Every structure is written in C-alpha cells, then in structure tokens.
A and B are shown apart, each in its own frame.
Chain A
C-alpha cells in the first residue's frame, strides 16, 4: 500500500535555530496535510497543500509541495519553545483513507 516516509525521526535544536522536516512518497500525491501534536496532546491540523510547487506560510512556518507532488516540507524559522512537539504529514490515498507519516519529533532547548 501507499507509504509516506518522513525524516528526520528526531531533531534537537537550540531556540532560535531553524528546523525542517521532510515527507516523501514514491507515488504522485493528490494533496498533503500537515499536523502538529504537542506532547501528551492530540494532532491538530495545520495546513493542506494541493497544487504542484505550492508554498504557504503561517507566521514562522513555511510549507512546500514539490513540483512533482511526491514530496513536501515544513520549515520553521527561529524556533521557539512553543514549537516543541511532533509534526506529521498525512496523505489521502484516494477515496476516504488517510495515511500518516511516522512524524518528526522536535525538541527545542532554551
């Protein structure tokens, strides 16, 4: 079945450093979503990307969808302690199913 590979698995950064997580698929995607889960919490929807080459920004977060629609990235500029958590990408497999990546856990040291 369809899989999405997410890297890295963990990332430790100093507060103020940048952070990027990547999501890769072997097949062309119709869309991709990004979620954030705080420690002990539940996933919260951040954004959906649909178009080839799409770039969307939310304050310090920048989301990109690759030209071939097979990969995506989430970049955080100047991380803060409030950015701590796990970031997941998720893709719809056609129909009504969603596949989640394994997530990238972000640790931020103050």
Chain B
C-alpha cells in the first residue's frame, strides 16, 4: 500500500491564483481530512469527509473547497490564493468513520506571494 499520497510536494502561487492540492489513499479509509500547519500553531482542521459524497467544515474552512466523489480521493481547492494561505498542508485518513488514529500524507508546502 502507498498509504496517503499528496501532490505536489511544493508549490508557489501568486495572489489570486487558484489551484488544487491532490490527496489519495489506497487503504479504503472512510474518514479523510485536510489540515494546515503554521509555525507554533499545531495543525488546524480545514475540511473533513466521513465518506464519499459527504464533506463538512473544520476550524478554518474559509478560502478552501473540497469534494469527495470517491472513497480514495479528497482534493482541496484554493479558490483565490492569499499570502495568509502560505502554509504546509497535510491530508490524513482514518480507518474508522471518525478521526481516531489518523494516517498523514507527506504534506504540500505552499507559498503564496
């Protein structure tokens, strides 16, 4: 199993550009989530999904959209990038239907100039 994969590893965007961060898992996990990690602030939940077709907001959802058309994929879309969205983004998944024992992807380091 590849586990949780994320692409790209690094990305630089200009203010106002849009892009999609990709996340996929091959463990048949129902629960998937997106976090952002900023220095000194731990991880903050952006959006999560408890199964295909179901998504909901986390702590910091503004400026981000998600969809879950399949169990495997959970892309995160930045609609109009802002410098405040410069961060490291982690996707995670969990075997159970809730966020216990989450498996994290390697992360995407995003810089918005």
Residues on A close to B: CB < 8 A?
A: 1, 6, 9, 31, 33, 41-45, 48, 88, 90, 92, 95-103
Q: Considering only CB atoms and an 8 Å cut-off, how many residues of chain B contact the other chain?
A: 27
Cβ contact of A97, chosen from B40, B99, B100, B104, cutoff 8 A: B99
> For the complex, what is the distance from the CA of A76 to the CA of B102, rounded to whole Å?
22
What residues of A have a CB within 8 angstroms of the CB of B74 in the complex?
none
Residues on B close to A: CB < 8 A?
A: 31, 33, 35, 40-45, 48, 50, 56, 58-59, 90, 92, 97-107
A24 to chain B, nearest CB (A): 14
A51 to chain B, nearest CB (A): 14
**Contacts across chains A and B counted by CB atoms under 8 Å:** 57
What residues of A have a CB within 8 angstroms of the CB of B106 in the complex?
41-42
Docked-complex contact B98 and A92, CB < 8 angstroms: yes
Given A31-B100, A42-B107, A96 and B42 touching (CB < 8 A)? no
Docked-complex contact A102 and B104, CB < 8 angstroms: no
Cβ contact of A98, chosen from B40, B97, B99, cutoff 8 A: B99
> For the complex, what is the distance from the CA of A96 to the CA of B57, rounded to whole Å?
10
In the complex, residue of chain A having the shortest beta-carbon distance to the beta carbon of B106: A42
